[in-house]
């Protein structure tokens, strides 16, 4: 069911929107959620939104700019399943801030009915595409599929993916799957010092015979509460894994796990594309050296061109304080993304990898561990008032 929920105090706005969709055929359900004056009311407002169905939220018209942005941010944090559209004056600064706060579209005052219908239909299409991408498992809006990708090898994907998974499992033990899509040289098993009996190759080969209950047999448990699906034992096995098989693996796991963290190989290969296609969130990683930053710029363009810009993007800058390369501010300017996670250059990351013991466990007070654990909290259900916005493009 498609629903358009309007957050506005303008009486009759719901009838205006309903009228736009009268024909042909039944349009979406349209409802208005009125506001109370209080700022702390955003939680109540979000709780009043429909819990199921394809929900587009129209924020405004008639709201004060900062209030609209606060609502957009809270929606972005609390209800990643919905798509929001802002009805407000479209000066460039407001547009930029609205997009950064999570709005998918903007409707300026005086928009013609066709334009309103086009923007709202586009928002409904985005939800439908996401639902298909997630294999119809979006019944729990807090489910997240996080694809960790980078244009170059060695940027720290496996280190960050493993630490992030363990940090998430601290809050949600048993609900985190860490999946190795580095099909030739995957090292998730070393990052967590695991000895997998079965791997992603076995799961993919088992095909239809595996369901959401039996899938756990292919995973290797880690004491933190993470279940790892390790990469194939031999690189040659990678050739037997098709994109369809990999997509099925994610869909199967998303029936059983709230969080799926997918580590990928360096460069955007087919497996990384499958991961991003199924992802709610894409973690783009680079270090500060110029080739790495240039490669990320090109990756951003390429991912935008293939329509992956409707995912939540998070830019992760590793070795952010390395003496070589650009400083964080230059990187941010060059890439055009806010930096959502900065991990310092530190020996303990290398040691942790060598010892198979993620820093969030082995050295939780270290700046690197704190940074990753702090970032992980973005994905946990949190009180609205203390939430931060999810990473978004800054331009």
Ligand X SMILES: Nc1ncnc2c1ncn2[C@@H]1O[C@H](COP(=O)(O)OP(=O)(O)OP(=O)(O)O)[C@@H](O)[C@H]1O
The residues of the shown chain that bind ligand X, judged by CB under 6 A, are 150, 153-159, 182, 265-266, 318-319, 343, 345-346, 349-350, 353, 368
Nearest to 50 by CA among 29, 64, 24: 29
Cβ distance to ligand X smaller for residue 333 or 350? 350
Q: Find the shortest distance in angstroms from Cβ 392 to ligand X.
A: 23
Q: Find the shortest distance in angstroms from Cβ 322 to Mg ion.
A: 18
Tokens for 176, please give them.
């985190």
CA distance 314 to 137: 22
Residues 6-45: b if buried by 16+ CB within 10 A, e if exposed: bbbeeeebbeebeebbeeeeebbbbbbbebeeeeeebeeb
Nearest to 238 by CA among 184, 179, 180, 181: 184
Cβ distance to Mg ion smaller for residue 157 or 222? 157
Cβ distance to ligand X smaller for residue 343 or 373? 343
Cβ distance to ligand X smaller for residue 85 or 349? 349
Cβ distance to Mg ion smaller for residue 158 or 248? 158
Cβ distance to ligand X smaller for residue 222 or 319? 319
Choose the one of ligand X, Mg ion, none that binds residue 353, judging by a C-beta under 5 to 8 angstroms depending on kind: ligand X
Cβ distance to ligand X smaller for residue 55 or 285? 285
Stretch that binds Mg ion, among 17-25, 153-161, 250-258, 350-358 (CB under 5 A): 153-161
CA distance 169 to 85: 33
Alpha helices in the chain (DSSP H): 13-20, 42-47, 65-78, 92-100, 113-133, 157-171, 188-191, 200-206, 243-256, 270-277, 290-305, 328-335, 347-355, 359-362, 367-376
Stretch that binds Mg ion, among 80-88, 149-157, 238-246, 355-363 (CB under 5 A): 149-157
Q: Find the shortest distance in angstroms from Cβ 224 to Mg ion.
A: 19
Choose the one of Mg ion, ligand X, none that binds residue 251, judging by a C-beta under 5 to 8 angstroms depending on kind: none
Q: Find the shortest distance in angstroms from Cβ 257 to ligand X.
A: 21
Nearest to 334 by CA among 295, 281, 285, 391: 295
Question: Does 264 sit near Mg ion (CB under 5 A)?
Answer: no
Q: Find the shortest distance in angstroms from Cβ 157 to Mg ion.
A: 5
CA distance 304 to 321: 28
**Between vectors from CA 270 to CA 176 and to CA 377, what angle results, nearest 5°?**
25
> Of residues 8, 68, 158, 254, which one binds Mg ion by CB under 5 A?
158
Choose the one of ligand X, Mg ion, none that binds residue 113, judging by a C-beta under 5 to 8 angstroms depending on kind: none
Choose the one of ligand X, Mg ion, none that binds residue 319, judging by a C-beta under 5 to 8 angstroms depending on kind: ligand X
Q: Find the shortest distance in angstroms from Cβ 156 to ligand X.
A: 3
Please spell the DSSP secondary structure of 27-68, one letter per residue.
Answer: --EEEEEPPPS-GGGHHHHHHTS-SSSEEEEEE-SS--HHHH
Binding residues for Mg ion (CB under 5 A) = 157-158
């Amino acid at each position: 069911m498609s629903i358009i929920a309007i957050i506005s105090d303008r009486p009759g706005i719901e009838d205006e929107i309903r009228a736009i969709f009268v024909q042909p055929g039944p349009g979406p359900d349209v409802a208005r959620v009125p506001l109370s004056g209080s700022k702390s009311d955003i939680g109540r407002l979000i709780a009043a939104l429909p819990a199921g169905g394809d929900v587009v939220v129209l924020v405004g018209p008639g709201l004060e700019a900062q209030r609209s942005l606060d609502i957009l941010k809270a929606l972005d944090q609390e209800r990643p399943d919905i798509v929001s559209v802002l009805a407000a004056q479209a000066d460039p600064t407001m547009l930029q801030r609205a997009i950064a706060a999570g709005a998918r579209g903007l409707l300026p005052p005086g928009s013609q009915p066709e334009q309103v219908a086009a923007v709202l239909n586009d928002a409904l299409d985005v939800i439908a595409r996401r639902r298909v991408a997630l294999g119809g498992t979006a019944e729990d809006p807090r489910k997240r599929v996080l694809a960790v990708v980078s244009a170059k090898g060695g940027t720290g994907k496996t280190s960050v993916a493993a630490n992030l998974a363990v940090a998430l499992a601290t809050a949600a033990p048993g609900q985190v799957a860490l999946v190795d899509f580095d099909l030739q040289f995957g090292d998730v098993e070393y990052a967590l010092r695991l000895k997998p009996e079965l791997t992603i190759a076995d799961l993919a080969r088992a095909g239809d015979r595996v369901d959401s209950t039996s899938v756990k047999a292919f995973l290797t448990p880690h004491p933190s509460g993470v279940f790892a699906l390790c990469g194939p034992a031999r690189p040659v096995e990678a050739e037997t894994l098709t994109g369809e098989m990999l997509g099925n693996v994610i869909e199967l796991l998303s029936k059983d796990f709230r969080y799926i963290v997918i580590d990928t190989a360096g460069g955007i290969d087919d497996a990384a594309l499958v991961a991003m296609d199924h992802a709610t969130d894409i973690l783009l990683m680079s270090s500060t050296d110029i080739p790495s930053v240039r490669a990320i710029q090109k990756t951003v363009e390429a991912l935008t061109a293939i329509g992956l810009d409707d995912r939540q993007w998070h830019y992760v800058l590793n070795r952010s304080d390395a003496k070589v390369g650009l400083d964080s501010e230059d990187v941010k300017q060059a890439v055009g993304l806010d930096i959502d996670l900065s991990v310092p250059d530190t020996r303990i990351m290398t040691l942790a990898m060598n010892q198979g013991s993620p820093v969030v466990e082995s050295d939780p007070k270290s700046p690197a561990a704190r940074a990753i654990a702090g970032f992980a909290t973005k994905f946990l259900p949190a009180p609205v008032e203390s939430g931060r916005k999810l990473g978004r493009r800054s331009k």
